[in-house]
Structure 1
Amino acid sequence: MEFKDLEIFQMVAEKGTITDAAKALNYVQSNITSRIQKLEREMNTPLFNRHRRGMTLTPEGKKLMTYSEKIMSLTDEMKKVVQSKEEPSGKLEIGTIETVFQLPNILASFDKKYKNVELSLFSGVTEQLEKKVMDHQLDGAFVTDGPFSSEIITEEVFEEELVLISSSQVNAFEATEKEPVLCFTKGCGYRARLENWYADQGIRPTKVMEFGTLETILRSVVVGLGIAFVPKSSVIHLEDSGLIRTYSLPDQYSKVKTMFIRREDTYLTTTLQKFIETIKTNQNVEIHSLKY
């Protein structure tokens, strides 16, 4: 069995068809097919159910997937361990929630200093990003503070205030029982805090509308679609322009820390160590809100 066989196996499982896996890996389909058949002979069992819509893992295939992911993760870690101690290089995959306004400065500083690092950024909500870190799919992630797995190491990035916002024609506080709540998907730390406040106040929102980006949420609030609970730093310009109104909640709901997390049991590569150092050197840099 070769590492490439496991890579092909994982891609077919992810894509669901030989055709799509071949495109993703830039291989001819016959090569993908023969490698999967070879792997099934070595395992002495079918790894995929074949049907008209594509291919799905058999129970035995699912078992192999568990081990395959561990093997490939260890392989990646092995490559990182032998990187040069002097010059960071290779891949660095970082996750982030939508609202880390210091992030552009961090990324710019890191990229200018370490040209040999291939940095990839993935966005999501806190719960999703923690899972990806735990599953070795990300080297680290910027998330909202909260209870994390005991296998997670945290670095505080900054603390800020969340505020309830509404359009300029609506009182944000009075609108809590009347207007839809605009938020990210379940697993978002900001949403969880607002839901806790609602529960403690005995309030039930009329409707919850989920969005994928902060920009869409803010624009929707400005036009009067509903209310939202967002970092104050992200809406100062909108408030100064008279486009929205804000309302502060008690500190137990509104004070929030953004953390950088990584797995405790993975090797701290030179590349990731330098990224963490870059975060620390940019913590006190003033960041201005995005303009609309």
Structure 2
Amino acid sequence: MSIDLQVLKFFQAVATLGSISKAARELNYAQSNLTARIQQLESELQTKLFYRHNRGTTLTDKGKVLLSYTDEIFKLIDEVKIAISDDQTPKGPLVIGSMETTAAVRLPTLLSKFHREYPTVDFTLKTGTTEQNVQGVLQYELDGAFVAGPIEHPDLTCKIVIEEELVLVTNSFNPPLSSIKEIQYRTILVFRSGCSYRTRFEEWLQSEGVIPEKIMELGTLDGIIGCVSAGLGISLLPRSVVEKYVKEAHLLLHSIPSQFGKVHTLFIYRKDKYMSTSLKEFIEMSNNGTLLGNHARLV
């Protein structure tokens, strides 16, 4: 028995869109012909792949198994095309994820240099939480990402970039904190769920038996800095990120216990994915000190 790639592409489209009619429109293919090809595939495999209903189609258990293999097949085909066409010259798309704090403070110099040296690389930077970036790499949406450690996953290669020191950030106009217990009466300013700094903040407070009365989520670093500066609340951020704001934003930085105040920034990528020349050069440029100055290394 042999299955051609076209019918697998048809099957994948129907499974993804949940409807033969939608898949036919998407593929610009006659619905009747698409239906016949799916039925032929089911006959060849001697199993039912879809439940048909008035809202469209739903995968059977066997259909779900086939879809997982189909997705893998097309990923491998894409990698083969990339590997064969790779002439060791950095070019084409490169999609990198990053935490917003890293993107704002650590990456501008690196990205500027990378663009100057490799202008034919179509570079895209996507910011998100550590959790979002990890999932992006695992789901092949990102070629690599800067995240906060620790990260342990059998499919990922993780390289330490640098150790960050997290500090408590408060407004210099408000009365200074005399005890950690006072934090429960302040508004806690954090990034959205999935941010490793937020998780570390919550772990520290929990260890001290402190339950803050109010937690406010903000989407950007500038938003958090601005709100702390205005006296709206306090936050936990890397010292390297907030040091430049101390004078102009009237901020105070407070050290916290080292078991909660030290965090590694990692660069992660999939072990099983072909590493393009563009990604190799990006990692190499990061490794030569461009990323964080002379003290920064990917190890």
**TM > 0.5:** yes
Identity value in percent: 35
1:158 aligned to which of 157, 162, 185: 162
CA contact (8 A) 1:95 1:124 kept: yes
User: Unpaired segments of 5 or more residues in structure 2?
Assistant: 43-47, 295-299
Higher Rg of the two aligned structures:
2
Which residue does the alignment assign to 1:240? 247
Q: Equivalent residue of 1:241, what SS?
A: helix
CA–CA separation in structure 1 for the residues paired with 2:232 and 2:37: 54
Aligned residue for 1:213? 220
Pairing partner for 1:73 from 75, 90, 93 = 75
Separation (CA, whole Å) in 2 of partners of 1:156 and 1:220:
31
Q: Could you say which residue in structure 2 is the equivalent of 1:289?
A: none
Match of 1:120 in 2: 124
SS class of match (2:70) = helix
Q: Does 1:40 align with 2:38?
A: yes
The alpha carbon displacement at 1:201 in A equals 1.0
1:91 to 75, 90, 93: 93
Residue 33 of structure 1 and its aligned partner are, at CA, apart by 5.0
**Shift in Å, 1:216:** 2.2
Q: State the secondary structure of the residue aligned to 1:187.
A: coil
Aligned 8 A contact 1:175 1:227 in 2: no
**Alignment partner, residue 274 of structure 1:** 281
Match of residue 145, structure 1, among 144, 149, 152: 149
Change (3 A) 1:113 1:19: farther
Per-residue deviation, 1:261:
0.7
Match of 2:84 among 60, 64, 82: 82
Deviation track 1:47-74 (CA, whole Å, cap 9, x = no partner) reads: 476656x776555553343223212221
| Residues 1:225 and 2:225 are matched in the alignment | no
Q: Secondary structure at the match of 2:112?
A: helix
SS of match in other structure, 1:209: strand
Q: Is the 8 A contact 1:96 1:129 kept in 2?
A: yes
SS at match of 2:101: coil
State the secondary structure of the residue aligned to 1:160. strand
The code of the aligned residue for 1:31 comes to Y
Distance (Å, rounded) in 2 between the aligned partners of 1:35 and 1:132: 35
Matching of residues 280-291 of structure 1 within 5 Å:
280-281=287-288, 282-285=290-293
Deviation at 1:167, TM superposition (A): 2.9
Residue 62 to residue 203, structure 1, CA distance change in 2 (3 Å):
same
CA distance 1:112–1:2, change in 2 (3 Å): farther
Q: TM-score scaled by structure 1?
A: 0.80
After superposition, the C-alpha distances for 1:57-93 in whole angstroms (9 at most, x for unaligned) are: 5555533432232122212221222233431222222
RMSD over aligned Cα atoms: 3.2
How far apart are residue 143 of structure 1 and its match? 0.4
> What amino acid does structure 2 have at the position aligned with 1:215?
D
**C-alpha distance in structure 1 between counterparts of 2:231 and 2:52, whole Å:** 50
Query: 2:106–2:292: 8 Å Cα contact kept in structure 1?
Result: no
- Measured in 2, the distance between the counterparts of 1:228 and 1:76 equals 43
> Any idea what SS the aligned residue of 1:99 has?
helix
**Residue type matched to 1:161 in 2?**
E
Q: Which residue of 1 aligns with 2:297?
A: none
Identify which range, 169-178 or 136-145, moves more after superposition.
Answer: 169-178
- 1: CA distance, partners of 2:118 / 2:164: 29
Q: SS of 1:274's equivalent?
A: helix
Partners of 1:120 and 1:129 lie apart in 2 by 14
TM-score (norm. length: structure 2): 0.78
Change (3 A) 1:229 1:10: farther
Report the 3-state secondary structure (helix = DSSP H, G, I; strand = E; otherwise coil) of the residue aligned with 1:87.
coil
Instruction: Decide whether the 8 Å contact of 2:50 with 2:57 is kept in 1.
Output: no
Aligned-partner Cα distance in 1 for 2:187–2:125: 31
Shift of 1:5: 6.4
- Report what 1:31 is aligned to: 29
Q: Residue type of the partner of 1:78? A: V
